[in-house]
Amino acid sequence: MREICINHIDAFTTKRFAGNPAGVVLNAECLSTQEMQQITNELNLSETVFLLPPQTVENDFRVKYFTPKEEIDFCGHATVALTWLVATEMGLAQAKHGIVLETNIGNIPVTWDIKDGNINSVEMTQAAPKTKDISVDLDKLSRLLRIEKDAFDLNYPLKLANTGNWHLLIPLKNDILIDKADPDLAALDTFNKKYGVSTTHLYTFNTKQDCDLYTRDFAPSVGIAEDPVTGSANGALAGLLYYEKIISQNEPTRLIIGQGHKVERPGTLYVTITPNGTEPIIKVAGAAIVTIKGVLHL
């Protein structure tokens, strides 16, 4: 019998039972892909990340991400959770300023911020953002999301964006309307698969929460009804806002994004967008906290 140490970590929060929970499995080189999927199903969290030895000497680790349904190329909150654990419990914060992770979308650098001897947050540099147009009927979207057609805020872009996974980014007029959304998940699953997107991500600048942007994220096509706090989708959103000139293309912009309030798991992401030629550098930061540690018997 093999014993596998598992960790349950709440990401993008400093409080237990908030933010987005991720499963983290260190020393996963002894596991097959099938076992990783089975462990993810057993933990039954939106994503579980597995730490493996690197395939190239210039990187520190290789990682694989799974939802209860399938392997995915990238997951922001699981990256934050994993890096938090590596920096604290593996003690790397005393030896290094950060690490580089090999993923299916390329290398992801992650650093940590230390304050008064303790880690304050970790920050990942996401893949270069990409965007593309989508032609979609607003009447159909309103039926999918079960919101009124006049809830859409067409002063902002409704497009696809990607910093690792494709997301459909939909602007609504305020956070109240975002919280009223009650998607037809079966129909949204079909819709997302048709357009090759991982999630449907609602956003607004008009919020009473203590943040610049308020968002919600739905991902039935990868087995997640609603993702509480989404690092990859909010990174993609930042890239879209940059390309659409909603934020500055001349100097760095820092955004605070709030998510998870509707599902009573509020979390906070700190996103920095830095101009860099034709492609901005997107960095997403947040804190994390360990809530459960245990041993899985195989």
Domains and CATH numbers, the chain: 3-120+286-297 (3.10.310.10), 130-285 (3.10.310.10)
**Confidence band, pLDDT 50/70/90 cuts, at residue 117:** confident
DSSP 3-state of 168: strand
Left, alpha or beta for 41 (phi > 0: left; psi -120 to 50: alpha)?
alpha
pLDDT tens digits, 168-217: 999 999 999 999 999 999 999 999 999 999 999 999 999 999 999 999 99
Give pLDDT, residue 281: 98
- Taking the CB of residue 95, how many other CB atoms lie within 10 A of it? 8
Alpha-helix residue ranges (DSSP H) falling in the chain: 33-43, 76-88, 138-145, 175-180, 185-195, 231-243
Q: Is the pLDDT confidence value at 32 over 90?
A: yes
pLDDT tens digits, 258-293: 999 999 999 999 999 999 999 999 999 999 999 999
Residue 89 appears among annotated catalytic residues: no
CA distance 223 to 47: 10
**Catalytic pick from 3, 29, 47, 244?**
47
What pTM does this model have? 0.97
User: pLDDT averaged over the chain?
Assistant: 97
